[in-house]
Every structure is written in C-alpha cells, then in structure tokens.
Chains A and B, each alone.
Chain A
Amino acid sequence: MTTVAKAEEGTGSPYALSHLDALESEAVHIFREVAGEFENPVILFSGGKDSILMLHLALKAFAPAAVPFSLLHVDTGHNFPEVLQYRDRVVAAHGLRLHVASVQDYIDRGVLKERPDGTRNPLQTLPLTEKIQSERFDAVFGGGRRDEEKARAKERVFSLRDEFSQWDPRRQRPELWNLYNGRHAPGEHVRVFPLSNWTELDVWQYIAREGIELPEIYFAHEREVFRRSGMWLTAGEWGGAKDGERVEKRQVRYRTVGDMSCTGAVDSDATTLDAVIAEIAASRLTERGATRADDKLSEAAMEDRKREGYF
C-alpha cells in the first residue's frame, strides 16, 4: 500500500497534494469528463512532449481499460524522422487508432499552396478542420497551455468551435468550479485542453517523475544546423541553408517539436531529464520565443490564428 500524495512540510496538513498531483488529478478529471459526455473524442498527437504527456494521462485515467479515444496527427510533411518513429511505436504499443491529416496531400491536390518561406505550420488548419468534419469528432484534445502565449491565457478548458472550427472569444462560456459545459450543436465541436494549467517546467518535472520516454531530439545531441532568424534549423526535405547561411555541427536540443522549417534548436549539453529541467529552470527565454518563428509574427498573431481554427 502506498499513498500517492506527499504532504508539504510546513502546511501542517497531511492532505495537501503536491502541485504535480493536483495538476495530474485535474487533467484526469477532464479526460474522464469528456469520455462521459462526448460520442467521438480524439487526441491531437504530434509526438511532441505535450501530446505524449496527454496520452500518458489518458492511459492513467482509464486504466486498466483501454483509452476510449483515437489519435489524430496533423502531418506537415516536414516532421523530424525520430518523432514519426516514436509516434508509430507508441500507437502500436497501446493498440490505438491513428488518424493522419496530411498537409502534403493538400499541396499535391493543389488545395493548399506552399508558402515562399517553406513554413507549413500555418497550412495545418485546413487539413485539421476538414478531418474533424469528415470523421465527426465532437471533442478534440489539444496540448495547449495557458502559459504559452498571451492570447491563450484566456482560453477555456472546454473551448467551443463552430462548424468552421472558428474560435470566437465572445462565445466562450464562463467556466465555474470544475463544472465543464460540453454542450454543442451538431457540426460544432469542443476543443479540450487538459494541460491548461501546466507550465513548461511542470510538464518536464512530471515527465521525469513518471519516467516517460521522449523522442531523442529533446536531449542534447550533435547535429548539422544553420542559423536563420536567430534560430538553429536543421536541413531536410523542406529546404536548407541559403547563400550566406553556414552549416555547422553543434551540440543542440529541441525544446519544442513541430514543423522542421520553423522549429529551432537551442545550444545545450543537457543529455538527461534532470539536466534539461535544470536548464529550463534557469532559462531566460520562454519556450516559443526561443524556438518558434511563427509566433514572433505580431502581438496579435496567435489570436488571429486561433480565430481561424488553429489549435
């Protein structure tokens, strides 16, 4: 017999949950609430750490039974190979069903056009929303956290989207206590964010505590990179160094995992989870500011993309 929660010294109460236990319990409550109220939920799964964490929490929420949700990966076509391998391994290990919405397909069919800068992140919205419509998903779990960006600070845990997947800040419902309102009309769906209240550091601490395996690119490794817009990028099918951009071998790691064309690596010698956590705790740059070119666009960039149905 074990008791999970450890009392904090000084509170004088044996019933105080640690912050990780409190966040875990809340996320599990959210997963179970969706399982109880929706017909056809899906978890957005990119193979990045936030989606890996979501899946881990979902597995815990329904153990010893299977997770009653399928997975959906919006594949930009510019994924890190290590991440795709990880994705396929996890899906097989847990007997899950994986849906893929492919940006490449849309480009091949001429529905979407490649952007001049080669970045495909903004192109994800249409494949995602059309997949939600065609598969009739009524709840879509995203790994978004409110601490990531100012527009997200106001996001609800249950975020209503119309049939165009649009987010209307004025239509969002107040969320009181832990009473989530999942009612929606046919064709509408609800985006659900079980990690709303987690910070980057919480995510890493929890991954360490639970011993969750991550793709190798989250840890320091040698790789050939070149500098663009203040970030270290890796060449791939999406493109590579242009004139004047020098390719060099550096010891780096990734803090977020997304489209290769706009996800930058940071110089690091953190090869273990503990080293990564120590590095983040001391970091003076937020996750997206350091590594995501697309979020630097403008003060209102994220707000505009959320309205269009981006995560």
Chain B
Amino acid sequence: MSTNTTEALPATTLLRFATAGSVDDGKSTLVGRLLHDSKSVLADQLEAVERASASRGQDAPDLALLTDGLRAEREQGITIDVAYRYFATPRRRFILADTPGHVQYTRNMVTGASTAELTVVLVDARNGVVEQTRRHAAIAALLRVPHVVLAVNKMDLAGYGEKVFAAIAEEFTAYATELGVPEVTAIPISALAGDNVVEPSANMDWYGGPTVLEHLETVPVSHDLAHCHARLPVQYVIRPQTAEHPDYRGYAGQIAAGSFRVGEEVTVLPSGRTTRISGIDVLGDPVDVAWTTQSVTLLLQDDIDVSRGDLIVPTKDAPATTQDVEATVCHVADAPLTVGHRVLLKHGTRTVKAIVKDIPSRLTLNDLSLHPHPGQLAANDIGRVKIRTAEPLPVDSYADSRRTGSFILIDPSDGTTLTAGMVGESFASPDPVKDQPEEDGWDF
C-alpha cells in the first residue's frame, strides 16, 4: 500500500441498525434529519426534495421525502418495503434498514431487525407507549437485537417536559426488560426541530445523555467471542488443480460465530469426522486466528470429505444434529403457511426438504397472548412451528447464535421465501407469553 489515505480518512467500524415506527411518529423525519444533519444529504438530493415539496405546496423542505422511494409509496404517502440508507460520520459508517411500522408490515420489521445490531423504536411523546410500541419492542426482543433505543419524539409538542419523557421511558424499559431486551437507551427528541438527534437540545437541559447520533457512534458493535460457539458453514470448496497448487483444497465460508485458530481440532457436520485446522487464509493473508464475520478459507490436516452445506465446528463445542426443529417464525409470504406444507429449509449454506408438522400456537405481538392451534399462519403472523427435515441439521438455538440459529422456508414450486425462523425459545425471559384461547376457538 503506497497511499496514506488511511490517515486522511481512518477506517471506521460499521453499524447496522433499524428503525421501527410509523409515519405518524415522525420516522421519516427522524431518518431525514439524521441524513441531513450528518451532512449525508448531497446538494442534488436536497434540491430534488425542495422541488418536490414546493410542487406540493409545502413551504419548508419535507425531509421525509428523502426516504420515500417507490412511486406507489409517494402516491400513498406510506412506506411499503425495507429501504436501506447509508451515512457516515468521521467515527463510524452506518447502514440503516428503514422499515414501516404498521401491523401489516411486521415482516419488513423482522427483515430489517434480522441484520441489525441496534433498533430505534420511535414513540410520540403525546401518545406514549401504545400497542404499536409494544409490537416493536417484541420484534426487537424476538430477533435478539442487542441494543434498543427508545426515541421519544415530538417533545416540542409536549412542552419539552421531563416528567412526560421519564414516564414513557420507565414504562417502555420495564416492558422491554420483561421481554429480555438486554439494553434500552431512552432519548427525548424532536426530529422536526432537531433536538437531540444530531445536536444536543437547548430546550431540554434536564437531559444529560447522548444525542441519537452520538449513541449510534459509540455503541459497541462486536461481541465478546469467548462465549460464542465457533461455526463455519462451508459455502464452496476451492480446488485450483493447477501445477502451482496441485493438492490445494480449501473450504471457503464466512465465519458465522466465534473464532477459529490454526491447530484447533474441528469436527465436520453432519458427517462427524474430526481433523485439525492446518491453515487459515483471510482473502490472501495467512493468519493464526480468524473470527466472525470474516470470509475465510480453512485448510484441514486430513483429506476428509467436506462439501458445501457442511458445518465446521470445534470438536469440543459441537451442536447436536436433529431432524425435528422447533422454532418461532414470522410468516413473510402472502399465501398462508399450513400444517402439512412441504417446503425447503435453508439453514446456513444447506438447503433440505422439510415438512411443517405442527403449528402449536400463534402469538399476538400487541399483548403477547398465545392462540393455540391456529391451523395456519397468514402473512405477518408470528407463531411457533414444528418442522421435520429430510436430513439431520446441526442447528443452534437462536439465542446462542443469530446466524446458525436462523433459517428460511422456501416454496419448492416457485422459490418464494415463505417464512423466517428462529430456533428455540421465543424470548430471553422465562415466560412473558400467556396462553389465551381465541374467543371463537376451542378451549381444550
């Protein structure tokens, strides 16, 4: 490297986060404000927004227009899909999954939260914690998003009152903690006026915490790997078979969790064969140790049969394999998921045939009530399913590993992604959900 770019623009870390909230809460305005005040909106984008705002007779540029992409959405004034936004500060690069908060778009929120390290839940200070807020908290808890920010918006319309904010923060934190959310940071803001989004608010000197952007810049993005089970789903076998590399066999994949070290004893699942790591290659650099989420190539001591779909794990920390998967799922397709449905299940790099054996319950996110034996799950429904797979799978519990504890169900006939699944128990806390038979259902 002959450049000194790294001095001018230091390499920073990357934070993926998601927003949950509705247009009414001012979500688009918050996102627009983050982009605008962090100087991520460029002149031509701003001009386009100013033109569009003026053509609609608005007198100030509507920052929400920065983020409404598709024509259908502009016409209806709603957000119907996950949109990804990019911005950076000198301290960090951000990828924002911007999702609509309405009940019929639960699947989009689940999608956005699936890759997020942090979720911003937005509430209107005048309304406080409402059903939708509880739903957003539940999704963050279900998807095990490590950090949750409660942004209490429209503080300007609530007289910038500390008591208003404190009551909402307390109620939300109690609820989220009950669901097992490990960390809640509550911030009083006005997205419209700009209080505590990027700049500290002069109107709320009683608040001593960080602005939304400061918090986003400083929240930790990596985990203590000591407590993670190391996992490498094999994507591809690299065999050059050239004069220079006649015997090279490398197992390529992205480390899904934990770390691997040269010399370590590993087991290849599902075959169960054991060998040692003889080398690790991180995109051209030989290393002693590599960790999540690096894309690597592992070299193994013994010439054993390893192929795409296998999982390489430490011998001393291997998951059990099973053909019976119990999971919490979010159904993301328009047609319902029913008992007896024949599907494909993609877990890591492996896709197997499977059948939906049972749907024990459907979960209502608003009040966390359980409805037994719903018979099917419709679009945006969350529920428990039991799945039988055609081959044994080495699954982890989603609580232990978001990448090796998750799967998707696919329709074998047309390839539609049907369902997003999380293996194991729904919530981190013992049992926040309560059985509640549906009024028109059978009460066994």
Seen from chain A, the residues whose Cβ lies within 8 Å of a Cβ on chain B are 1-6, 8, 10-13, 15-26, 28-29, 32-33, 35-36, 60-66, 146-147, 150-151, 153-154, 160, 169, 172-179, 181, 183-185, 196-197, 199, 201-202, 205, 208-209, 211, 272-274, 277-278, 281, 283-286, 289-290, 299-300, 303
Contacts and interface: CB of A to CB of B under 8 A. Distances in A.
Contacts of A22: 13-14, 293
Most chain A Cβ neighbours within 10 Å, of B3, B42, B289, B406: B3
A286 B84 contact: no
B295 A28 contact: yes
Given A66-B240, A175-B111, A176-B408, A278 B8 contact: yes
19 contacts: A2-B287, A3-B287, A3-B289, A4-B283, A8-B11, A15-B291, A18-B11, A33-B235, A64-B245, A65-B239, A65-B240, A169-B70, A174-B332, A176-B406, A179-B348, A179-B406, A185-B415, A299-B48, A303-B70
Interface string B369-410: 000000000000000000000000000000000110011101
Nearest to A155: B84
A73 B424 CA distance: 47
Contacts of A26: 254, 293, 295
A179 B107 CA distance: 15
B417 A174 contact: yes
A178 B349 CA distance: 10
Contacts of A147: 85-86
Interface stretch (B169-177, B199-207, B217-225): B217-225
Contacts, number: 245
Given A13-B220, A154-B82, A211-B3, 8 more contacts: A1-B287, A4-B282, A32-B236, A64-B238, A169-B81, A174-B417, A179-B408, A181-B417
Contacts of B291: 5, 15
Contact of A285 (B43, B253, B403): B43
A-B residue pairs, 6 tightest by C-beta: A183-B415, A289-B44, A18-B11, A65-B240, A28-B295, A19-B14
A66 B239 CA distance: 9
Interface residues of B, number: 92
B254 A29 contact: yes
Contacts of A208: 3, 5
Contact of A151 (B70, B406, B414): B70
B3 A197 contact: no
A201 to B, nearest CB: 7
